[in-house]
Amino acid sequence: MTDRKKDRDPQPAVSRRGFLTTVSSSAAAAAIVGVAAPRDVAAEPAPPSDLVSITLRVNGRRHELMVEPRERLLNVLRERLGLTGAKPGCERGECGACTVLLDGTSRYSCLTLAVEAQGREITTIEGLADGEQLSALQNAFIEEDGYQCGFCTPGQVMAAEGLLRANANPTLDEIRLGMSGNLCRCGAYGHIFKAVQKAAAARSRGGAQ
């Protein structure tokens, strides 16, 4: 009779405190013995890609570099070569602050992989001046107040340089169109367009660069 009564007795319920204690103890034991806990794989940083050797020709100088295939030209110019004229603005090809020239054509360096630029002639804002002598375009920006805060100015100058290399005597509408990929939050567009016109006129008169 006693044995049957024991069989019918309900088992003691596990309290919330007891459950949490058991779970915590199990997790601690797993850590001690080296049992791998579940991991959030998506939160882990991706391992670095294999480095590749590239040679970049920037402002007439050759640079041999080891880079990751995913590295952008903008970062290599700024962080590896110390050419900080090109600016990281939107970093998605909308503001133009990072504009450089590739083979004389304006290009967003934030959307260009460094490995893509191999074998191309890269020109940055640092490469326009001849020593301490500014180019006609750079002087025109100064004389026409083609800037305010100055953050976008290197990209504006490089976009204008690319435009004038493709079209030596652009009309105002052509200048507006050619510079439309470069934003100026200060709103100095009128002065920028005048600077481009002035540089075009100076080049046509005396062949100044």
Domains present along the chain, CATH in parentheses:
49-127 (3.10.20.30), 129-209 (1.10.150.120)
* Beta strand spans in the chain (E): 52-58, 61-67, 99-102, 105-108, 121-123
* Beta strand spans in 37-116 (E): 52-58, 61-67, 99-102, 105-108
Structure tokens at 147: 């800037």
Query: pLDDT tens digits, residue range 90-116?
Result: 999 999 999 999 999 999 999 999 999
Instruction: Tell me how far apart the alpha carbons of residues 207 and 81 are, in angstroms, rounded to a whole number.
Output: 31
Task: Identify whether the C-beta of residue 96 lies closer than 8 Å to the C-beta of residue 155.
Answer: yes
Angle CA 109–110–116, to nearest 5: 55
Task: Identify whether the C-beta of residue 131 lies closer than 8 Å to the C-beta of residue 161.
Answer: no
Structure confidence at residue 4 as a pLDDT band (50, 70, 90): low
Query: pLDDT tens digits, residue range 7-60?
Result: 555 555 556 565 555 545 554 433 333 434 445 545 555 555 689 999 999 999
Query: pLDDT tens digits, residue range 142-184?
Result: 999 999 999 999 999 999 999 999 999 999 999 999 999 999 9
In sequence order, the β-bridge partners of residue 61 are: 58
Instruction: Tell me how far apart the alpha carbons of residues 142 and 1 are, in angstroms, rounded to a whole number.
Output: 107
What pLDDT score does 8 carry?
Answer: 55
Instruction: Tell me how far apart the alpha carbons of residues 128 and 18 are, in angstroms, rounded to a whole number.
Output: 74
* Neighbour tally for 207: CB within 10 Å: 8
